[in-house]
């Protein structure tokens, strides 16, 4: 099992996603002799998981069943243990696209946080790229390194526990892209520029407040960055469902007998309805291009 390579068979030590429903999933580490309790009963790792195919339907001890899924960055984002506020797939998709990431890309990231974006970056740049991620908090950095090892992607990532605003990313002139998710991104622009390749590259800064965006854009301009733009991504999911709509009674047609309508005529159809509530602002994404030296 690896987050960047697909496996067919579940083995001891793998991380799997237990799917109980669209709104109920959980990650577990498969260990011989271990058990996992669910509302449908116990899952015994040795007999129910090890040796089974990913995607299998597993019957629990109470007779209920679950699906056992191969982990992906998308599934990890909605199931990971939160150590910080995280980025979700709507923003992650735009970041990956706008930073022009591809297999072989070298990427700098700060801060690592809970690793939601990190896993998506690693899948995109595998098998020959590398992620240099910086986390200020020592315990979060240590936990991130542990997760990368368990997910079998540690060969693609270097985790540094340091202050990016003071100490930078630990590399010079090799990064294709830089991502900043820190309280004062304008203080890290100098280090971001020095980490990027001399032929240029792309930078993205995520900030929840527009005042942070303003100061970051000023710093980007001062350091010669070009094509600076800021966007906000909002997601609106429509619910497709079957509804019964009444047909209006316009009275008898001209020339027909005057027969009153005694029934309530209706038609069944499928329609899409917007949500009553929707997730609003997450943060502002500021993108910029470093010119060639």
What are the tens digits of pLDDT across the range 70-100?
999 999 999 999 999 999 999 999 999 999 9
Comparison of pLDDT for 239 and 211, the residue scoring more: 211
Q: Which residues of 269-288 are buried (b: 16+ CB within 10 A; e: fewer)?
A: eeeeeeeeeeeeebbbbbbb
Query: How much is the average pLDDT of 187-204?
Result: 96
Residues annotated in the binding site for S-adenosyl-L-methionine, as ranges? 114-117, 135, 181
Whether the Cβ atoms of residue 80 and residue 86 lie closer than 8 Å to each other: yes
Q: How would residue 112 be classed by pLDDT, with cut points 50, 70 and 90? A: very high
**How far is Cα 65 from Cα 255, in angstroms, rounded to an integer?**
63
- Report the pLDDT value the prediction gives residue 267, as an integer from 0 to 100: 87
**pTM of the full structure:** 0.88
The pLDDT of residue 281 is 87
247-290 pLDDT, tens per residue? Answer: 877 777 665 555 555 556 788 999 998 888 777 889 999 999 99
Start-to-end CA span in the chain (Å): 42
Specify the pLDDT at position 254.
Answer: 65
Binding residues: 114-117, 135, 181
Give the percent of the chain with pLDDT over 70.
Answer: 95
The residue-averaged pLDDT of 42-56 equals 96
According to the model, what pLDDT value does residue 263 have?
56
Picking from 282, 288, 257, 278, the residue whose alpha carbon sits closest to that of residue 116 is: 282
Which range, of 2-11, 57-66, 271-280, averages the lowest pLDDT? 271-280
Give mean pLDDT, residues 119-131.
Answer: 98
Domains of the chain: 9-71 (3.10.330.20), 75-234+281-290 (3.40.50.150)
Q: What is the pLDDT of residue 273?
A: 85
Buried b / exposed e over 221-243, threshold 16 CB at 10 Å, is eebebeeeebeebeeeeeeeeee
- Looking at the DSSP bridge assignments, the partners of residue 285 are 206, 231
């Amino acid at each position: 099992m690896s987050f960047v390579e697909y496996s067919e068979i579940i083995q001891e030590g793998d991380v799997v996603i237990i799917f109980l429903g669209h709104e109920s999933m959980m990650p577990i580490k498969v260990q011989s002799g271990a058990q996992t309790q669910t509302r449908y009963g116990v899952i015994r790792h040795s007999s129910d998981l090890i040796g089974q195919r990913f995607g299998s339907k597993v019957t629990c001890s109470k007779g209920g069943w679950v699906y056992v899924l191969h982990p992906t960055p998308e599934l990890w984002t909605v199931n990971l243990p939160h150590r910080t506020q995280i980025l979700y797939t709507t923003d992650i998709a735009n970041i990956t696209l706008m930073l022009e990431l591809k297999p072989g890309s070298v990427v700098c990231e700060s801060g690592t946080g809970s690793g939601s974006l990190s896993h998506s970056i690693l899948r995109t740049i595998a098998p020959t790229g590398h992620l240099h991620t910086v986390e200020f908090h020592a315990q979060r950095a240590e936990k991130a390194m542990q997760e990368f090892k368990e997910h079998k992607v540690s060969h693609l990532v270097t985790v540094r526990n340091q202050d990016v605003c003071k100490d930078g990313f630990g590399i010079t002139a090799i990064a294709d892209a830089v991502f900043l998710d820190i309280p004062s991104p304008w203080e890290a622009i100098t280090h971001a520029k020095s980490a990027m390749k001399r032929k240029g590259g792309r930078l993205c800064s995520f900030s929840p407040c527009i005042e942070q965006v303003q100061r970051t854009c000023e710093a980007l301009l001062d350091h010669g960055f070009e094509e600076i733009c800021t966007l906000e991504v909002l997601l609106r999911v429509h619910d497709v469902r079957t509804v019964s709509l009444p047909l209006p009674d316009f009275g008898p047609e001209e020339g027909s007998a005057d027969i009153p309508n005694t029934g309530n005529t209706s038609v069944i159809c499928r329609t899409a309805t917007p949500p009553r509530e929707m997730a609003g602002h997450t943060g502002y994404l500021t993108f910029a291009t470093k010119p060639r030296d």
